[in-house]
Structure 1
């Protein structure tokens, strides 16, 4: 007799958990521009908690419990390291201060911030993997890391002006910024690219070392849908409700560029 091969799929109920979390996240994101005051703060916390839970749950279900726990620990440590240095020195993002609205802090970093990194990091790594598929095998890992870091930074292009508007942090000198965004300096984008390269390199190594045999055992649809909605839906909210046309245009443009790249890849793959 031979040992049974490991199962490559999960029970339907467990596979539905990331979908349910993504759906709840989208509902909370829709509620954000429709809320105000302290209610909007509650919605912000809800979005981040749901997004971080989605990342950890999907990482665990798709690659195994060790990967899920490792993603949680790794992203939290890297986030606290970068953000605490950023608050203390201004490197690598520029000089900024957090408001008291975000609650308790660790080394000057509100607890909400590492959770926001977690919400963004895992979907960015998954999308980086999709974008790097056409690259030949020997260069696929660095391409995946580069794409993932770029997605990670691009997400913040949309998110940061929204959270500055909400009063969660303030930049000492927000200029020069991207065209149309006058509340966030370009140094922030450079900092996110650097942080993204470090984080995605470590995340890539983590997954390679901890992933379960036969993974991925559930597809990336739920976290990728959440990423798409937070970017493109966020752009719509910025344009229609939040009075942030600059970040709306950047979000729409960056989201459309990624969709175009994926469409071209799909078309080329279909010709082979």
Structure 2
């Protein structure tokens, strides 16, 4: 099977299962997180790292299928550099408290490199940056012609996404900040750190990919941002469960952005075969 055939088969699989991937998986994930948090599940199953990684990979599949055709040598190098950078800054962050503030993982999210950093970290981190960049290419419209606008807007969305993610992850006990924090247990230093890490990550995406080709791909791949739909449902639901209402409102704001650019229609997704745009 050649690359084009494999890409076509993967896209068809995603398109035929959009609702399951983008809606059912995050809802089931939220229910499992709640059940694990409330000790309704046996210890081996509650917050099981294998299930977490599996579910995350499934929800990431629309992004992967949409992005793969645009990965050439330059983009591949950028992604490798981004992976190395992701591990490096996370290791420094955990061991020194720079740049995010003192924090530590309370749950092993799969195998841990050097007993410190999750080996699957790029699976969790890459989509935050890539989805932000792709969303901004559509939201900016003609202003996307400006590199400054693309990079700045993408960095802002990365920070907004973390305003949703971190409070719920802390409440679930995925990780904790040693001194707590004013924003649902998250310190402001975390977001100062994200300005640095997010700027480097967005910069690597900007340098590695042809933004015009990505925007054209977005026009022809209706499910490419479904991973962000999954994110909004999963982490919006978890924040609602813990009563973190500001992150819930931010999640709704993100979903409104997706609706503004007509990125997800529940009725079309339920029809099993969304028509390509």
CA distance in 1, matches of 2:67, 2:77: 9
CA distance in 1, matches of 2:222, 2:189: 32
Question: 115, 128, 133: which is aligned to 1:120?
Answer: 128
Larger relative contact order, structure 1 or 2 (CA cutoff 8 Å, min sep 6): 2
Which region of structure 1 is more displaced relative to structure 2, 51-60 or 94-103? 51-60
Counterpart residue number, 1:230: 231
CA deviation map 1:213-241 (0-9, x unaligned) = x96387353232321342256324432x4
CA distance in 1, matches of 2:228, 2:161: 8
Counterpart residue number, 1:219: 220
- The 5 Å alignment of 1:53-132 reads 53-61=61-69, 63-66=70-73, 69-70=76-77, 72-107=79-114, 108-132=116-140
Is residue 186 from structure 1 mapped to residue 222 from structure 2 by the alignment? Answer: no
Structure-2 change in CA distance of 1:25 and 1:225 (3 Å): closer
Counterpart residue number, 1:6: none
- The 5 Å alignment of 1:149-188 reads 149-177=155-183, 182-188=184-190
Question: 17, 20, 23: which is aligned to 1:26?
Answer: 23
Structure-2 change in CA distance of 1:251 and 1:82 (3 Å): same
- CA drift of 1:30 comes to 0.7
Question: 131, 150, 162: which is aligned to 1:144?
Answer: 150
Structure-2 change in CA distance of 1:66 and 1:28 (3 Å): farther
CA distance in 2, matches of 1:11, 1:169: 36
- CA drift of 1:248 comes to 1.5
The 8 Å contact of residues 157 and 247 in structure 1, kept in 2 or not, is answered as yes
CA distance in 2, matches of 1:76, 1:152: 17
Gaps of 5+ in 2: 1-5, 37-44, 263-277
CA distance in 1, matches of 2:67, 2:136: 15
TM-score by length of 1: 0.74
CA distance in 2, matches of 1:97, 1:248: 25
CA distance in 2, matches of 1:175, 1:142: 31
Residue 179 of structure 2 aligns to a residue in which SS?
Answer: coil
CA distance in 2, matches of 1:233, 1:64: 28
Counterpart residue number, 2:41: none
Structure-2 change in CA distance of 1:175 and 1:202 (3 Å): same
Residue 235 of structure 2 aligns to a residue in which SS?
Answer: helix
The 8 Å contact of residues 71 and 209 in structure 2, kept in 1 or not, is answered as no
The 8 Å contact of residues 19 and 222 in structure 1, kept in 2 or not, is answered as yes
